[in-house]
Amino acid sequence: MAKHQRSLHWFRKGLRLHDNPSLLAAVKGSKEFRAVFILDPFFVKSSNIGINRWRFLMESLRDLDDGLKQLGSRLYVLRGQPSEVFPKLFTQWKVTRLTFESDTEPYAVKRDDLVKTIAEEHGVEIIQKMSHTLYHPQSVIKANGGTPPLTYQRLLTVLSKMTLPKQPEPALSKECIGGCALPVGSDHESEFGLPSLEELGLDPSNAGPHLFPGGETEGLRRMKEQLARQDWVCKFEKPKTEPNTLKPSTTVLSPYLKFGCVSARAFYHGVQDVYTRKKTHSKPPVSLHGQLLWREFYYIAAAGTPNFDKMEGNSVCLQVPWDTNEELLQAWKQGRTGYPFIDAIMIQLKQEGWIHHLARHAVACFLTRGDLWISWEEGQKVFDKWLLDADWSLNAGNWMWLSASAFFHQYFRVYSPIAFGKKTDKNGDYIRKYLPVLKKMPTQYIYEPWIAPRSVQEKAGCLVGTDYPRPIVVHSDVMKRNMARMKQARATKYGDKSNADTTKEAMTDKKKEGSKKRKTKDTDKTSTSKKSKTLTDFY
């Protein structure tokens, strides 16, 4: 085949050399290849990205550059708006083909449409491939009759009629590149090198402990390490993992999947390989495959729902008259609610950038329908800033779930900010780690220090109201008030005064699944074991 293309690959997510079909398409039949990442300086200054995620991103780009270097190429890091950068590059490098991974987020769709128009004007061919998710969200929507499946069960039904996720593609190699030229100038470092955090106007001393370094190399190492725990992989049941262990009880592959340092398909098939070696394994929704399918679920729902990250104009979201209360919001955000379990989680989030799924449940429920009655959109913003894995679709979808605004409707199940954490960490070691002020509080008071006698507080060196805040709300009171408000909001939307899940689709599913569904009433992957599925566990 005659090699005539001058290709440019545009990295955005998908920060990896393995299983990257659009990257492979860039070198195929090309006589020249370059890869770029575009940093928008305005975005750097104004964006809602915490320092830990910036560090993760920069490390991921460094790793990508190292990987390309080993193949004889480099990563070209450019600054500016893509719509302004590309016309210059197309001309300067005589580009004939632009490749990138498809992205379904609304801002990305707009950006890419603009770049595609510009490319067309320059006579540049576009190759776009979907590899961020296991399935193409639009093909699942199509298979579901034009709308996204809005229950997990429905998703499984639709997927059961589709082919399994494709096997990962081989990593970019010298063989794939063949004789393709890889121009790298002697001025590469100064012209196109990766800026430091300081150069981006960020202060690295504000970053937290370096627990999850960014990059494909580290992501693949982590994935391999997790997959090597074959019994654990096969027995994995998300509800049985714990929110407050001092070492994560789940994989922490989320930041790597978010940036695409690890391919979802590589992880899916890695898990599948482990399954085939064992007699039995757990199943969705609680298994590791099940977790990846939750990811699909939200990606597909988000791709097919306008205004997915907002309450207003969002067809799947319950309209709730949330309160505005800056003081309560700040107390939640800064870990000063006076409920040690909630505060410890928020401190871990801010310092480390990752918290367990059930910890996310606890603080999200507390902010919204459980205690503070503040909109999930406010919580979404905070998570968006501080999470290493902050992901537009997953963040919005899970916040709607937790606030019983969509997908999950059992608003009467409320997490207790006192009892929930105690179940898996009686001694409160997690609280002691993230709230050192409570380090010496006796175990019987660690989840509710305000009930400790003054003498005990003095001895522990922590006076409630002085050294640690009093509870900002009385959980048992606000919870009841909020439940009534939620019932009212649902009655307005669904005309239901019952506690039943009355969304159209859930009702259809219920009919279809009949008694099977009734037997497993709570399909939430995060619900606790059957034994503990009583109201008291959630109150």
- The window from 40-48, 132-140, 318-326, 384-392 that contacts ligand FAD (CB under 6 A) reads 384-392
- Residue pair 119/126 in contact by the 8 Å Cβ criterion: yes
Report the nearest approach of ligand FAD to the CB of residue 376 (Å): 8
447: left (phi over 0), alpha (psi -120 to 50) or beta: alpha
What sign for the dihedral angle of Cα 436, 439, 440, 445? positive
- Residue 371 as a binder of ligand FAD (CB under 6 A): the answer is no
Report the nearest approach of ligand FAD to the CB of residue 380 (Å): 8
Report the nearest approach of ligand FAD to the CB of residue 248 (Å): 6
- Residue pair 165/263 in contact by the 8 Å Cβ criterion: no
- Residue 156 as a binder of ligand FAD (CB under 6 A): the answer is no
Residue choice 38, 141, 253, 435 for contact with ligand FAD (CB under 6 A): 253
- The window from 26-34, 42-50, 133-141, 359-367 that contacts ligand FAD (CB under 6 A) reads 359-367
- Residue 394 as a binder of ligand FAD (CB under 6 A): the answer is yes
- Residue pair 262/225 in contact by the 8 Å Cβ criterion: no
SS (H, E, C) 348-383: HHHHHCCCCHHHHHHHHHHHHHHCCCECHHHHHHHH
| One character per residue 202-241, x = contact with ligand FAD (rule: CB under 6 A) | ------------------------------------x---
- The window from 15-23, 60-68, 93-101, 356-364 that contacts ligand FAD (CB under 6 A) reads 356-364
- Residue 132 as a binder of ligand FAD (CB under 6 A): the answer is no
- Residue 432 as a binder of ligand FAD (CB under 6 A): the answer is no
Residue 156 makes CB contacts below 8 A (sequence gap 6+) with 284, 293
Closer to ligand FAD by CB, 36 or 390: give it. Answer: 390
- Residue 350 as a binder of ligand FAD (CB under 6 A): the answer is no
- Residue 348 as a binder of ligand FAD (CB under 6 A): the answer is no
| Token pair recorded at residue 85 | 């950068």
Residue choice 257, 346, 446, 473 for contact with ligand FAD (CB under 6 A): 257
One-letter amino acid at 434 equals Y
- Residue 309 as a binder of ligand FAD (CB under 6 A): the answer is no
Residue choice 387, 404, 431, 462 for contact with ligand FAD (CB under 6 A): 387
User: What is the distance between the alpha carbons of residues 169 and 289, in angstroms, rounded to a whole number?
Assistant: 19
User: What is the distance between the alpha carbons of residues 370 and 85, in angstroms, rounded to a whole number?
Assistant: 47
For residue 413, what is the DSSP state? -
Closer to ligand FAD by CB, 89 or 220: give it. Answer: 220
User: What is the distance between the alpha carbons of residues 356 and 252, in angstroms, rounded to a whole number?
Assistant: 9
Report the nearest approach of ligand FAD to the CB of residue 307 (Å): 17
Sheet holding 125-129, edge to edge: 75-79, 30-39, 5-11, 97-101, 125-129
Report the nearest approach of ligand FAD to the CB of residue 185 (Å): 38
Residue choice 383, 415, 430, 539 for contact with ligand FAD (CB under 6 A): 383
3-class SS of residue 190: helix
Query: What angle, rounded to 10 degrees, do the helices at 326-333 and 340-352 form?
Result: 70
User: What is the distance between the alpha carbons of residues 56 and 338, in angstroms, rounded to a whole number?
Assistant: 31
- Residue pair 264/295 in contact by the 8 Å Cβ criterion: yes
Where would I find the H helices in 414-501?
Answer: 419-422, 429-434, 454-460, 475-494
Query: What angle, rounded to 10 degrees, do the helices at 264-277 and 216-227 form?
Result: 20
Report the nearest approach of ligand FAD to the CB of residue 212 (Å): 10
Report the nearest approach of ligand FAD to the CB of residue 292 (Å): 5
Report the nearest approach of ligand FAD to the CB of residue 441 (Å): 28
CA dihedral 340, 346, 349, 351 (to 10 degrees): -80
- The window from 113-121, 154-162, 187-195, 393-401 that contacts ligand FAD (CB under 6 A) reads 393-401
- Residue 395 as a binder of ligand FAD (CB under 6 A): the answer is yes
| One character per residue 25-64, x = contact with ligand FAD (rule: CB under 6 A) | ----------------------------------------
What is the C-alpha R_g of the chain? 25
3-class SS of residue 399: helix
Which of 396, 218, 372, 224 lies closest to 306, judged by CA? 396
Residue choice 60, 254, 337, 375 for contact with ligand FAD (CB under 6 A): 254
- Residue 141 as a binder of ligand FAD (CB under 6 A): the answer is no
Residue choice 11, 56, 268, 298 for contact with ligand FAD (CB under 6 A): 298
User: What is the distance between the alpha carbons of residues 406 and 316, in angstroms, rounded to a whole number?
Assistant: 6
Closer to ligand FAD by CB, 180 or 253: give it. Answer: 253
- Residue 295 as a binder of ligand FAD (CB under 6 A): the answer is yes
| Token pair recorded at residue 308 | 């997915």
Closer to ligand FAD by CB, 89 or 402: give it. Answer: 402
Closer to ligand FAD by CB, 246 or 491: give it. Answer: 246
The residues that touch ligand FAD, with contacts defined as CB under 6 A, are 238, 250-254, 257-258, 291-292, 294-295, 298, 356-357, 360-361, 364, 383, 387, 389-391, 394-395, 398-399, 402
